Chains A and B, each alone.
Chain A
């Protein structure tokens, strides 16, 4: 026999409004609907994105997800509670104009979110997708900043002046301007090297702008480098990465987006480390490294379009990686010499001198 609930079912749809509105209004509309019907059996209806392909313009499939207030299983009840919590956090953030990160939202109620960041991410994705809201622009949720910047030249963001004379996270920017011109932009793969090199630059009082993405750079770091590249077309951009497939791939990520189709920082060059720079610190490739390397050189040679100007640079990468395959070795920047800072500095001097103009204070 079917039980007859005294409560009636009310569907609350997470859908974008037809008329123009603000993100806050969309969320508030759902919030008030929930509030109004809290004494009924609310069914929240969301769209769950199924596959997110990295190529732009790809159609994203989705399916309907229904979450009941009076759930039959505990997982669903938890999801309902999670959604309410997330709605509340999102609305509060929008009201206070606070920018936040997914990680930050997760810390709002770790127990409810089952100590799982992916659980939160999944629901956040559902909400933003269903309401057609962009995570960054509409909801103010950004990935945590990862990239670091060091420069004795300050930056202006709107009307505020930001200084970077100690290593600082690259700020989220809209309208940024560098108040001066550095002698070169140095991009380092590793944070450890970055920190010690910044100290070195400070002591020697060099006018270098130093950036690290701590491994693979996030979008903010890449955008920042792209901005610098666009703004300072004649500036040297020198990258120092490990002499292995991961290092070169990181360099590639700064230089091009979407495979090799869009150059982001055409000036960027591989300055070090080269496999043959230091023979005592070599490490064997693992079979995984070996496969990655052969796949990457395949990608370099098939995707990269030969008519582009960077032929010399890309051939250099290819030469470096094929060497690594033949020798079955790779080399890390950390062990390059007892004094990596001096090594990097010497390389910079050498490369800058070949650009014919050596900045005054680098001649020492």
Chain B
């Protein structure tokens, strides 16, 4: 327990409904909800500021949004910065929008290819570190995934062209079940991992579009149904270098985190807390509830996880031990009026905030965390010390 995280800011009733995903860009923290709105919280908002006054919101889809992915880049031969945001909506559409130079007032929709207007589940961007070819990967409810190559250009007048060409489909055996989760390795070797509800996580090469490894669940409880398991890989995440894939699976009513070596396709361990839970059947658990969020810090030395036990844990990847635990409670919020039937402080997502992103004299040197929850609040924390 080496690290300490201090609440920096919390916004109660940030959305009308469950907040389902969060993405951090240089300028904004983007949250999406089943109320259909995407909200852009300025990263410079701090304690004392009225966050709800400075937020920019955009209505995306009346059925609601469940995933968000963002792509940030400086356009070639220019100083124009573009952010492309992909919103996965409950009607099966992946809606693409962009804005320029971190100014959300330039927020505009992108003409999306027909393949992503229905039947989709989860989007992910690949930003090529060598700037040769960027990709958009979208998993589909029927079990496959489409890969687009993405070219962004800007003419002299500042008009932006975003061109998405279908690159291919990942070679997935269609008998597999629902693709629940997606992670893209942002390193030089282009890889994508997709988690299926039967417990399998498939690792793909994004150049050949072929399957590289299958990481099966070690869950010993077989339900008899091939299509489902008690070990849904709810979230998966590559470490920044791309050498490790962290997979958070359900384990009965608890949650486990398994670590895989991406190069050799081996299970290299798991993250567990010492537990005497009667629910434990085999192995140890990371959380006393399903895990809804995973995030590596910039260095890859720490992993944050969160979930149904209303808590966030930060793990040291060298020692494989907990560095910090943050417990969420609805009473944390300054505005405690809530809907008793539905508002529950299940932590539905967590993201590390890089050092310097929350650009304020208080936050520049310390890294931080952003946590979203089913109690409709967004909470930011910063690491203690290092001011």
- A: residues with CB less than 8 A from B are 274, 276, 279-280, 284, 286-287, 290, 294, 297-298, 301-302, 315-316, 318-320, 322-323, 325-328, 350
| In the assembled complex, B92 has its CB within 8 A of some CB on chain A | yes
Q: Which of B60-68, B146-154, B266-274 contacts A (4 or more CB under 8 A)?
A: B60-68
The one of A274, A276, A287, A320 that contacts B178, using a Cβ cutoff of 8 Å: A287
Q: Which of B103-111, B162-170, B338-346, B359-367 contacts A (4 or more CB under 8 A)?
A: B338-346
Tell me the minimal C-beta distance from A189 to chain B in angstroms.
18
A279-B289, A287-B227 known; A294 vs B18 contact (CB < 8 Å): no
**Are B308 and A279 in contact, with the CB atoms below 8 A?**
yes
| In the assembled complex, B214 has its CB within 8 A of some CB on chain A | no
**Are A319 and B34 in contact, with the CB atoms below 8 A?**
yes
Tell me the minimal C-beta distance from B234 to chain A in angstroms.
8
**Are B90 and A319 in contact, with the CB atoms below 8 A?**
no
> Which of B16, B62, B92, B229 has most A Cβ within 10 Å?
B62
| In the assembled complex, B194 has its CB within 8 A of some CB on chain A | no
Q: CB-CB < 8 A to B295: which residues of A?
A: none
**Are A276 and B344 in contact, with the CB atoms below 8 A?**
yes
**Are B197 and A328 in contact, with the CB atoms below 8 A?**
yes
| In the assembled complex, B373 has its CB within 8 A of some CB on chain A | no
| In the assembled complex, B26 has its CB within 8 A of some CB on chain A | no
Per-residue CB contact flags for chain B residues 232-253 toward chain A (1 = under 8 Å, else 0) read 1000000000000000000011
Q: CB-CB < 8 A to B232: which residues of A?
A: 284, 328
The closest CB in chain B to the CB of A271 belongs to: B341
Q: CB-CB < 8 A to B92: which residues of A?
A: 294
Q: CB-CB < 8 A to B289: which residues of A?
A: 279
Q: CB-CB < 8 A to A328: which residues of B?
A: 178, 180, 197, 232
**How many contacting A-B pairs (Cβ < 8 A)?**
72
Please list 5 pairs of residues, one from A and one from B, whose beta carbons are closer than 8 Å in the complex, sorted by A's number: A287-B178, A315-B17, A319-B342, A322-B66, A323-B18
Which residues of chain B from 341 to 363 have a CB within 8 Å of any chain A CB?
Answer: 341-342, 344, 346
| In the assembled complex, B177 has its CB within 8 A of some CB on chain A | yes
- B: residues with CB less than 8 A from A are 16-18, 20, 34-35, 62-64, 66, 90-92, 141, 177-178, 180, 197, 223, 225, 227-229, 232, 252-253, 289-290, 308, 340-342, 344, 346, 374
The one of A286, A294, A322, A350 that contacts B34, using a Cβ cutoff of 8 Å: A322
**Are A287 and B62 in contact, with the CB atoms below 8 A?**
no
**Are A322 and B17 in contact, with the CB atoms below 8 A?**
yes
**Are B227 and A326 in contact, with the CB atoms below 8 A?**
no
The one of A284, A302, A318, A350 that contacts B64, using a Cβ cutoff of 8 Å: A318
Tell me the minimal C-beta distance from B34 to chain A in angstroms.
4
Tell me the minimal C-beta distance from A240 to chain B in angstroms.
13
Q: CB-CB < 8 A to A294: which residues of B?
A: 90-92
Give Cα distance in the complex from A328 to B230, angstroms.
Answer: 11
**Are A318 and B374 in contact, with the CB atoms below 8 A?**
no
Give Cα distance in the complex from A19 to B197, angstroms.
Answer: 67
Give Cα distance in the complex from A134 to B228, angstroms.
Answer: 48
The closest CB in chain A to the CB of B20 belongs to: A326
The closest CB in chain B to the CB of A354 belongs to: B340
Give Cα distance in the complex from A301 to B17, angstroms.
Answer: 14
Give Cα distance in the complex from A323 to B35, angstroms.
Answer: 12
Give Cα distance in the complex from A319 to B141, angstroms.
Answer: 20
**Are B141 and A290 in contact, with the CB atoms below 8 A?**
yes
**Are A322 and B180 in contact, with the CB atoms below 8 A?**
no
Q: CB-CB < 8 A to A297: which residues of B?
A: 63-64, 90
**Are A280 and B62 in contact, with the CB atoms below 8 A?**
no
Give Cα distance in the complex from A298 to B63, angstroms.
Answer: 6
* Other A-B pairs, 16, CB within 8 Å; known A290-B178, A316-B342: A279-B253, A284-B228, A294-B92, A301-B63, A302-B62, A315-B35, A318-B17, A319-B18, A322-B63, A322-B66, A322-B90, A323-B18, A325-B90, A326-B18, A326-B66, A328-B178
The closest CB in chain B to the CB of A306 belongs to: B62
**Are B197 and A284 in contact, with the CB atoms below 8 A?**
yes
Q: CB-CB < 8 A to B64: which residues of A?
A: 297, 318, 322
Give Cα distance in the complex from A218 to B232, angstroms.
Answer: 38
Q: CB-CB < 8 A to B141: which residues of A?
A: 290
Q: CB-CB < 8 A to B17: which residues of A?
A: 315, 318-319, 322
The closest CB in chain A to the CB of B197 belongs to: A328
Give Cα distance in the complex from A274 to B18, angstroms.
Answer: 14
> Which of A294, A326, A327 has most B Cβ within 10 Å?
A326
The closest CB in chain A to the CB of B65 belongs to: A322
Give Cα distance in the complex from A326 to B91, angstroms.
Answer: 13
Give Cα distance in the complex from A320 to B20, angstroms.
Answer: 13
Give Cα distance in the complex from A187 to B66, angstroms.
Answer: 32
**Are A274 and B63 in contact, with the CB atoms below 8 A?**
no
> Which of A280, A319, A325, A350 has most B Cβ within 10 Å?
A319
The closest CB in chain A to the CB of B91 belongs to: A298
A322-B34, A325-B66 known; A276 vs B346 contact (CB < 8 Å): yes
Q: CB-CB < 8 A to B344: which residues of A?
A: 276
**Are A316 and B341 in contact, with the CB atoms below 8 A?**
yes
> Which of B34, B91, B308, B346 has most A Cβ within 10 Å?
B34
Give Cα distance in the complex from A302 to B62, angstroms.
Answer: 8
Give Cα distance in the complex from A340 to B92, angstroms.
Answer: 36
Tell me the minimal C-beta distance from A343 to chain B in angstroms.
13
List the 4 closest A-B pairs by CB distance, nearest first.
Answer: A284-B228, A322-B34, A319-B17, A301-B62
Tell me the minimal C-beta distance from B112 to chain A in angstroms.
19
Tell me the minimal C-beta distance from B121 to chain A in angstroms.
9
Give Cα distance in the complex from A350 to B340, angstroms.
Answer: 10
